[in-house]
Amino acid sequence: MMGYNESITDPSYKGQILTQTYPLIGNYGVNKRDFESDSPKIEGYIIHELCRSPSHWSSMMSLDETLEKYEVPGIEGVDTRALTKKLRYHGTMLGILHVFYNDDASSKDDILDEVKRVKDPNDRDLVAEVCTNEVIEHSSRRSRQIVLIDCGVKKSIINSLIDRGVGVIQVPPTYSADDILSRKPDGIIISNGPGDPKRISYLTRTTEQIFDNGLPIFGICLGAQILALTFKGNTYKLKFGHRGQNHPCVETTSHRCFITSQNHGYAIEPESLKNTELEITFKNANDGTVEGVKHSSSKASAVQWHPEASPGPVDTAFLFDEFVKVIKNT
C-alpha cells in the first residue's frame, strides 16, 4: 500500500514539496481514476528510487511522465528516511527544488541566495487556490441533500457520501450562509484543505450562521480546525505535521484506538476549548494532540483525520454513516 497517485493529487498538499519514505515509487504507474483532484497539487516531489517501467493493468502513464506533463519538479536518489529524520528534528522547513537544464547557468550560490527569499506558502490563502469556483451538484436526485463546503476536498470524500445514498452540493468556501441555506440542505460538510485555517476567517463566520439555523455539521481535517475557531477555540502550527496512513487515535470515552490516515500541518489547541461548547472526542496516541471535537448539542462534530482514508485504513469510515444517520433524524 503506497497511494502516491492519491497523495500527489491531494489538495491539502498545495504549496508543499512532498517526500516519500517508501523506497520505491512509481511501480504501478499512474491512473487518473485514482486522482483525488483534477491534477497534481504538490509543488515538488522527493523520492529514493523511481520505477520507470511500471507494471499494472490500470496504468495509463509512468509517474515521471505524469509529473513532467503537469510541470511538477521531482528528484530521486535521495535518502528520504534520513531526510525525514531531519524534518522530525528541525520541523517543517522552506526549500527549493530546482530543475537544471544543460544551458542553465545557475550556480549553487544562486540557489542558496534564492532559498533565503522563499516565502512561506501558509501566508497565502491556499484554500482559494484549490477550491471550486462554482456550484457542482453530485447525485442531486436524492431524498437527503448535503452541502459540502469545498476547501480543497478530496474526490473520495464526495464518493463516500454518494455511496451512502445522499446528494452532494459542492460549493466554494466563500459561499454565504444565506446562499447555502437557500439550497435547503439536511446537513453540512466542511472539507479538508491546505494552509492556515485562520487565513479563511470568512468561513468561520459562515459556519456560525449555519449552526445557528440548527443544521448538523461535520468537519474533516481543516474542517475540524474551522469548527474549533467558530466556537472561539484556537489553532496552532505543528512542528512537522501529521502525514501518513498509520496514525493511532484514541476515543476519549471508550478508549478504543483507531488507525487513521492524516495530512495536516495545524492542530486545535486543547486549552482553548475549556470555556467553549466543544468537547474533545479523540486524541492522538503518539503526541496527545486533539483529533476530534463535538458540540454539546451533538449537532456539530469533526475529526482531524480522513475517514474516507484514500489511501489508508478504513477503521473510521463509520463516521460517514453516523453523520448520515444524524441528518436523517434531524
3-state secondary structure at position 18:
strand
DSSP readout, 114-178?
A: HHTTPPPGGGS-THHHHS-SS-EEES--SSSEEEEE-SS--HHHHHHHHTTT-EEEEE-TT--HH
What does the pLDDT read at residue 166? 94
Distance, CA of 221 to CA of 261 (rounded, Å): 10
Active site residue 221: yes
Active site residue 138: no
- CA gyration radius, the chain: 20
Distance, CA of 32 to CA of 67 (rounded, Å): 13
Cell numbers representing residue 71 in the block: 510541470
Under DSSP, the state recorded for 133 is: S
Distance, CA of 125 to CA of 121 (rounded, Å): 8
| Single-letter amino acid code for the residue at 198 | K
Say which of 151, 221, 242, 249 is annotated catalytic. 221
Distance, CA of 217 to CA of 180 (rounded, Å): 13
101 contact partners, CB below 8 Å, separation of at least 6: none
Say which of 48, 242, 295, 306 is annotated catalytic. 306
Cell numbers representing residue 22 in the block: 517508501
What does the pLDDT read at residue 15? 95
Neighbours of 93 (CB within 10 A): 11
Burial (CB count <10 Å: 0-12, 13-18, 19+), residue 266: buried
pLDDT in tens, the chain (330 residues): 469 999 999 999 999 999 999 999 999 999 999 999 999 999 999 999 999 999 999 999 999 999 999 999 999 999 999 999 999 999 999 999 888 777 776 777 888 888 889 999 999 999 999 999 999 999 766 789 999 999 999 999 999 999 999 999 999 999 999 999 999 999 999 999 999 999 999 999 999 999 999 999 999 999 999 999 999 999 999 999 999 889 999 999 999 999 999 999 999 999 999 999 999 999 999 999 999 999 998 789 999 999 998 778 899 999 999 999 999 887
Say which of 6, 36, 291, 308 is annotated catalytic. 308
Domain boundaries, the chain: 4-118, 127-329
| 308 touches 262 (CB < 8 A) | no
The model's pTM: 0.94
The β-bridge relationship of strands 300-303 and 217-220 is parallel
Tell whether domain 127-329 is in CATH 3.40.50.880: yes
DSSP readout, 54-118?
A: ---TT--B-HHHHHHHTT--EE-S--HHHHHHHHHHH-S---------TT----HHHHHHHHTTP
- List the one residue out of 115, 117, 75, 74 whose CA is nearest residue 95: 115
Q: What b/e readout covers 215-242, taking b as 16+ CB neighbours within 10 angstroms?
A: bbbbbbbbbbbbbbbbbebebeeeebbb
Under DSSP, the state recorded for 11 is: G
Residue bearing cell 510541470 = 71
Strand (E) or helix (H) holding 159: helix 155-162
What does the pLDDT read at residue 256? 97
Tell whether domain 4-118 is in CATH 3.20.20.70: no
